[in-house]
Amino acid sequence: MSTDTSEKGLETLIMRHMTGTDGLVVASNTAAEAPAPYGGSGYIAGSPQDYDRAHALDVPQLFAFLRATQPEAFEKLGMAHPNDARDINRLKFLARLSGEIGKRGVIDVLRKGVAHGPLHFDLFYGTPSPGNAKAEALHARNRFSITRQLAYSTDETRRALDPARQGERSEAERPPVGVGA
């Protein structure tokens, strides 16, 4: 049996290990509910079309997480159509989140969440203490996605990350390590 040592072969190997799928066919604007039970390391295969370059976020994955963990606060955002890129409340929230990441950094925003008007959103739930059922349930709803050939640049649209884990963002818009042309 021959081994595929090409870049595409390596990407497929990484995707299969992390998601249980090859990540080649992922429908856009759909956030998969759970990783495949037959393999993977808990990651969800993301779609390159879902990546919002202006805000450096996989918006359907973010909104799926917020709906699952903080449905009341998410409803109070008042987005008429969360999938509509022109919805003003959606744009305000994404701009706020992106601004906080730029100002405080990804780690701080993940640890402490983000305030948007009177609302507060947690973006990650840490390892729960034993016996805390509520914390265990929230921790289980964390979402980690990986996307093949993620075009991240708004200026140089041919630049792409070869598989990119969502949520990790370079400081000051520098191209991340591992950038392919």
Q: Mean pLDDT lowest for which of 27-36, 66-75, 138-147? A: 27-36
CA 41 – CA 113 distance, rounded (Å): 25
Average the pLDDT over 171-179 and give the result: 43
Render pLDDT for 41-66 as a digit per residue (tens, 0 to 9). Answer: 678 888 888 988 889 899 999 999 99
pLDDT at 119: 97
Q: Does residue 47 or residue 1 have the better pLDDT?
A: 47
pLDDT, residue 39, reads 53
pLDDT value of residue 173: 41
pLDDT beyond 90 at 114? yes
Rama region for 167: left / alpha / beta (φ>0; ψ in -120 to 50; rest): left
Helix (H, G, I), strand (E, B) or coil at 94: helix
Cα–Cα separations (whole angstroms), residue 51 to 10, 123, 127: 22, 17, 27
What pLDDT is attached to residue 141?
A: 92
For range 85-94, the mean pLDDT? 91
Q: Quote the pLDDT of residue 136.
A: 94
Q: Are 66 and 73 in contact (CB under 8 A)?
A: yes
- How many other C-beta atoms are found inside a 10 Å radius of the C-beta of residue 87? 17
Task: List residues bridging with 136 in a β-sheet.
Answer: none
Instruction: Write down the pLDDT at residue 172.
Output: 43
What average pLDDT does the structure give for the chain?
A: 82
Q: Where are the alpha helices (DSSP H) in the chain?
A: 7-19, 59-69, 71-76, 88-104, 106-112, 133-140
pLDDT tens digits, one per residue of 66-80: 999 999 999 999 987
Tell me the per-residue pLDDT of 13-28, one tens digit each, with 9 for 90 and over.
888 888 888 877 666 7
Dist CA 123 CA 175 (whole Å) = 24
pLDDT value of residue 171: 43
| ∠ CA 144-149-152, rounded to 5° | 80
Confidence band, pLDDT 50/70/90 cuts, at residue 121: very high
Cβ pair 163, 14 in contact under 8 A? yes
Per-residue pLDDT at 152 exceeds 90: no
Higher-confidence residue: 16 or 178?
16
CB of 43 closer than 8 Å to CB of 167: no
- Residue where the block lists tokens 């990350």: 161
